[in-house]
Structure 1
Amino acid sequence: MDTPQRSSSSTPTGGPITAVLVAIGLSAFGIAATQVTTAPAFLLEPGLATAPGEAPVSVRTLFFVLNFLGFVLAGAIYLAVTNRGWDYVDLRVPTVRDWLYVVGGIGVSILFYVVVALLLTVIDLPASENQVVEFIGGDPEMVLIMIAIVFFVNAPAEEFLFRNVVQKRLYDAFSRMQAVVGASLIFALVHLPVYVINADSALATAVSLTVVFGGSLIFGYLYAKTDNLVAPTAAHAAFNAVQFALLYLGMVLDLESVESTPTGLLAAVGPVVGW
């Protein structure tokens, strides 16, 4: 049976309610920080707010880089304020066991989203449009850039904040698996405003949030089992890269209505694991 994992920091951690409130606050702070860090991109190209797909590729790239750096900033401020320091970050060279978890995580995540895509198609369930699709704007070049971004910025930043900071904070008051579920719920809920805006119905919002929650469970589990941030980061990056690669192929092969197919749905819905 899992037991609560205590922090190595001397900072008082409080009980379950405190842990949940801190985790929610950290997630909200991370989202708020992205609004600040992305400001330079909007100053360079005001049209980014109304027609992101028409902005120069360089500005769209800058936006995504600055957006995810906001998560790093939020996590770094938390570590500094609580005197945890960078030793709190679980980064080490992966063992063979860690890599096995990474490979398994990639396989399970892809299977999960294939099943989701098929269900969306067969049952004809609605889903919110992914914000990333708006920024890509049907541009294959931007899709390739997004593959680089998920490896070097997106996955590292999100896993650092939502796994190594938020999920690990929950270890102080809950079992490992309870913390995985709790962090995943929080991760899904912070996406609620975006999906409410982009969704055509409450059902579409619920479907998208469920997909985000499921994906977060997979990566949270990898972190809980390995205590190594490299594991969920590598699996997250590889998974999103596969999705963008599918989207890229759909574009360059000029497939009709790529988003209406299971592969297209996989590519369009999948990246919401972080966006």
Structure 2
Amino acid sequence: MSTASSNRPLLQSAVALLSALLLGAGGLLLGFGLMIPAVIALTLVGLELTPSLNIVLSLLFIQGVGCAGVAFSYVKARPAVAPWVRSKLGIVAESSVFDIPAEVPDLRDAITVGVGYCVALGGAILGSVLITLAQRLTGTELETGTNQAAQIGMENPELLLLLIPASVLVIGPSEELLFRGVVQGRVREVFSPVPGILIPSAIFAGLHWFALTGGSASGNFVALGILLVPALVFGISYEYTDNIVVPSLIHGVYNATLFTLLYVTVAYSDQFEAAQQALLAASL
């Protein structure tokens, strides 16, 4: 992963921030934009768009093409595009090799995965529970939105059994390639570790606004604040290990755990109604 240089002109910093935001949002928008004509085409040929098919298409286009595709494309295109952009903007900077380090986790990486998973899951669930308790104690009601995939899973519990392995095999790796590998890697080229982690984490959590369904503006803002906890864990683990496999595993297992717990709460909805709301708020 690239690291910040000692000289950080304002223009260079602004370009890094803008490119990071465009890459993160652009990956998601590209996947969604490609998914729409695919849905239309399937509908025209008479294929029913079931919840299961909708989830599969989302995993294929948004996570697969949008996140992973944009990440790999950026790494491939950067050697040709970056010098051209710098020359047009008059930015004088040393050429640097941009890559996304990935290797089989060693013992330190494995420990980081375990600790990161516990902190991410515990922090998100604790935040959700504290907000729920605060509302009950103050008599206020804050309507938070729910993750669309989790909401579909609640209505079709069998889909949660698909989302559990997909979290580890597709969702975690693809989103981490884009948001930690590319977005955080790009920001870290000109910023030191603390803002280099905070900024990408805020972008990652903020873009989940569009994945929320329902809820008030203030409620969704609080929900994004909860999601910032695991986002920071993903970013810190990548900075610490310089191995994209580590945050990918933390993210994937984190999501898989939430989907597993959500499946249990749906199956026993009468006993776990309060826990269900906390899990929905923590879903990424």
- Give unmatched runs, 5+ long, in structure 1: 7-13, 47-51
- Alignment length (residue pairs): 253
Instruction: Choose 102-111 or 69-78, whichever is displaced more.
Output: 69-78
| Residues 183-198 of structure 1 mapped to structure 2, 5 A cutoff | 183-195=200-212, 198=213
Post-superposition CA distance 1:143-172 (Å, at most 9, x none): 010011111110000000000100011111
2: CA distance, partners of 1:230 / 1:4:
19
Instruction: Choose 158-167 or 18-27, whichever is displaced more.
Output: 18-27
2: CA distance, partners of 1:94 / 1:117:
31
Whether 1:32 and 2:29 are equivalent positions in the alignment is yes
2:102 corresponds to which of 88, 91, 99: 91
| Residue 184 of structure 1, CA deviation | 0.8
Whether 1:265 and 2:277 are equivalent positions in the alignment is yes
| Residue 177 of structure 1, CA deviation | 2.1
2:68 corresponds to which of 52, 72, 80: 72
**Is the alpha carbon distance of 1:149 and 1:41 closer, same or farther for their aligned partners in structure 2, counting shifts above 3 Å?**
farther
**Which letter maps to 1:173?**
V
**Which letter maps to 1:265?**
Q
| Residue 132 of structure 1, CA deviation | 1.2
Q: Structure 1 segments of 4 or more deviating over 6 A?
A: none
| Residues 146-225 of structure 1 mapped to structure 2, 5 A cutoff | 146-195=163-212, 198-225=213-240
1: CA distance, partners of 2:269 / 2:193:
43
Aligned residue in 2 for 1:244: 259
Larger Rg: 1 or 2?
A: 2
Whether 1:128 and 2:145 are equivalent positions in the alignment is yes
**Is the alpha carbon distance of 1:149 and 1:42 closer, same or farther for their aligned partners in structure 2, counting shifts above 3 Å?**
farther
2: CA distance, partners of 1:216 / 1:145:
23
**Which letter maps to 1:75?**
A
**Which letter maps to 2:55?**
R
Aligned residue for 2:250, secondary structure, equals helix
| Residue 248 of structure 1, CA deviation | 1.1
1: CA distance, partners of 2:132 / 2:233:
23
| Residue 137 of structure 1, CA deviation | 4.8
Q: Confirm or deny: 8 A CA contact 1:240 1:270 kept in the other structure.
A: no
Whether 1:256 and 2:273 are equivalent positions in the alignment is no
| Residues 108-119 of structure 1 mapped to structure 2, 5 A cutoff | 108-119=119-130
CA RMSD in angstroms, aligned pairs only: 2.6
2: CA distance, partners of 1:45 / 1:270:
33
Q: Confirm or deny: 8 A CA contact 2:128 2:226 kept in the other structure.
A: no
Q: Confirm or deny: 8 A CA contact 1:90 1:229 kept in the other structure.
A: yes
**Which letter maps to 1:191?**
H
Per the normalisation by structure 1, the TM-score is: 0.83
Aligned residue in 1 for 2:84: none
| Residue 62 of structure 1, CA deviation | 3.0
Aligned residue for 1:83, secondary structure, equals helix
1: CA distance, partners of 2:257 / 2:266:
14
| Residue 234 of structure 1, CA deviation | 0.6
Aligned residue in 2 for 1:11: none
Q: Confirm or deny: 8 A CA contact 1:45 1:59 kept in the other structure.
A: no
| Residue 88 of structure 1, CA deviation | 1.1
**Is the alpha carbon distance of 1:42 and 1:91 closer, same or farther for their aligned partners in structure 2, counting shifts above 3 Å?**
farther
Identity %: 26
1:62 corresponds to which of 51, 57, 65: 57
| Residue 209 of structure 1, CA deviation | 1.6
1: CA distance, partners of 2:170 / 2:176:
10
Per the normalisation by structure 2, the TM-score is: 0.80
2: CA distance, partners of 1:20 / 1:264:
36
**Is the alpha carbon distance of 1:138 and 1:173 closer, same or farther for their aligned partners in structure 2, counting shifts above 3 Å?**
same
**Is the alpha carbon distance of 1:171 and 1:247 closer, same or farther for their aligned partners in structure 2, counting shifts above 3 Å?**
same
**Is the alpha carbon distance of 1:134 and 1:242 closer, same or farther for their aligned partners in structure 2, counting shifts above 3 Å?**
closer
**Which letter maps to 1:239?**
Y
